[in-house]
């Protein structure tokens, strides 16, 4: 297993290209099941989750291929993936695959909408809280599906096809909204999704579905109306830039000091987080090719955050912001409202010298911690990257184990940071 070794203390200077968003690419790939025609996705990030999803889709009969590089494309240009679900050969998604990536559970929606049946394993335990799928199943039931649970599998059927209906989510759910959008696109009649998630990745999926021929209005607001169509066509679609990668590198620069252009980044995708990073002491300017982040030497200000559905502060940047606050001039409060148990990084940050007290869903971070390098490991994607952020300023060397978590969500992280002056290297092998 690979490890990443970082020796802290260097400011970041240069350009970091921002990749396509993982959390948009995954549902877009899954949407390919909705059509017999070819869906071509551009700007897809090179991530292990994308590779795994290609395999999962392959099991269902989707031909998935990565196109070769085209003239003028650099190493950083995202990949182009073609997905052709001409014939669905298997409507079962097995435990071995679904348990490795929760988002693959979402195949249930397009499979049911197109084939009238799907048998998908429940995702099983997850490191960040219980993360149930009850709301996803409720959405499918509202569209006329029969749902049964048998031996750890969800068996969903709609022999006469799905029917439009009203889905009123009692809680904002990104996955639930993705599932509802995909299923309703091929349902008979009109569907109204109330209290829909407003995340940019939802809008990205809706825009792609519209290009495929779906009739959707209101994506990006909390009420989405879908007029079902009998069939969808192929399309070309480019994945939007990753706002979590953008926010992570912005926080890294706020942490180390320096001056970095985040190429291709879009401020409108994470304005709330950028406002908090600025309050902490970074300077952020919008440039024609991206966002510039800089910070002059000096202490950071303590800033409280509360995670919320979009457009609030994203839970996926909570761990990184907590790492930043360990270096603020005073105490800050970090309130996690989306997931229970999303504080696993606290113990590992403590190994680097951070002083953080947990009170239920609030973490109180004492500022001015002296961070010192140590071997650490993390149990999820965002937690791992928060350790990288801390290690960039820790005295001495930090080794981050279990790097496969990072490879799920951050493309070429060590290259991107290394080119900006960080002392960082990947060590291959046992870890």
Catalytic residues: 126
- Cβ closer to ligand UD1: 249 or 310? 310
Residue 155 CB, shortest distance to ligand UD1, in Å, is 17
- Cβ closer to ligand UD1: 12 or 93? 93
* Residue in the shown chain whose Cβ atom is closest to ligand UD1: 175
Residue 138 CB, shortest distance to ligand UD1, in Å, is 7
CA distance 88 to 235: 19
Residue 56 CB, shortest distance to ligand UD1, in Å, is 13
Residues that bind ligand UD1 (CB under 6 A): 23, 26, 102-103, 129, 131-136, 171, 173-176, 201, 315-316, 338-339
- Cβ closer to ligand UD1: 33 or 282? 33
- Cβ closer to ligand UD1: 156 or 393? 156
List the 375-377 sheet strands across, edge first: 375-377, 397-401, 3-7, 423-427
- Cβ closer to ligand UD1: 171 or 357? 171
Residue 242 CB, shortest distance to ligand UD1, in Å, is 11
Residue 221 CB, shortest distance to ligand UD1, in Å, is 16
């Amino acid at each position: 297993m690979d490890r990443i070794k970082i020796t802290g203390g260097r400011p970041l200077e240069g350009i970091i290209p921002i990749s396509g968003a993982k959390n948009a690419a995954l549902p877009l790939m899954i949407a390919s099941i909705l059509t017999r025609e070819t869906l071509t996705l551009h700007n897809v990030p090179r991530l292990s989750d994308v590779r795994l999803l290609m395999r999962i889709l392959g099991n269902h009969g989707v031909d998935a291929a990565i196109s070769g590089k085209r003239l003028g494309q650099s190493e950083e240009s995202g990949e182009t993936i073609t997905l052709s679900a001409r014939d669905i050969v298997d409507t079962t998604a097995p435990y071995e695959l679904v348990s490795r990536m929760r988002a693959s559970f979402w195949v249930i929606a397009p499979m049911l909408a197109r084939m009238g049946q799907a048998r998908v394993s429940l995702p099983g335990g997850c490191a960040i809280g219980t993360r149930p799928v009850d709301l996803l199943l409720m959405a499918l039931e509202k569209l006329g599906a029969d749902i049964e649970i048998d031996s750890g599998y969800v068996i969903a059927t709609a022999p006469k096809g799905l029917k439009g209906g009203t889905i009123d989510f009692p809680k904002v759910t990104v996955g639930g909204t993705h599932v509802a959008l995909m299923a309703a696109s091929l349902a008979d009649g009109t569907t109204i999704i109330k209290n829909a998630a407003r995340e940019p990745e939802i809008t990205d999926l809706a825009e792609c579905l519209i290009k495929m021929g779906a009739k959707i209005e209101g994506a990006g607001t909390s009420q989405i109306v879908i007029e079902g169509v009998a069939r969808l066509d192929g399309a070309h679609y480019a994945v939007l830039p990753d706002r979590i990668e953008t926010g992570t590198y912005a926080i890294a620069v706020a942490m180390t000091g320096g001056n970095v252009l985040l190429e291709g980044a879009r401020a409108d995708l994470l304005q709330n987080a950028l406002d908090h990073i600025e309050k902490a002491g970074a300077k952020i300017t919008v440039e024609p090719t991206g966002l510039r982040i800089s910070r002059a030497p000096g202490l950071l200000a303590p800033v409280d955050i509360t995670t919320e559905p979009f457009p609030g502060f994203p839970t996926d940047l909570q761990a990184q912001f907590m790492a930043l606050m360990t270096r603020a001039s005073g105490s800050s409060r970090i309130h996690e409202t989306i997931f229970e148990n999303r504080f696993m990084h606290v113990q590992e940050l403590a190994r680097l010298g951070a002083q953080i007290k947990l009170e239920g869903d609030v973490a109180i971070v004492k500022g001015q911690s002296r961070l010192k390098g140590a071997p650490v490991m993390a149990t999820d994607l965002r937690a791992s990257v928060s350790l990288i952020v801390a290690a960039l300023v820790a005295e001495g060397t930090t080794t981050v184990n279990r790097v496969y978590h990072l490879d799920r969500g951050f493309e070429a992280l060590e290259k991107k940071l290394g080119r900006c002056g960080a002392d960082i290297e990947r060590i291959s092998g046992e870890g």
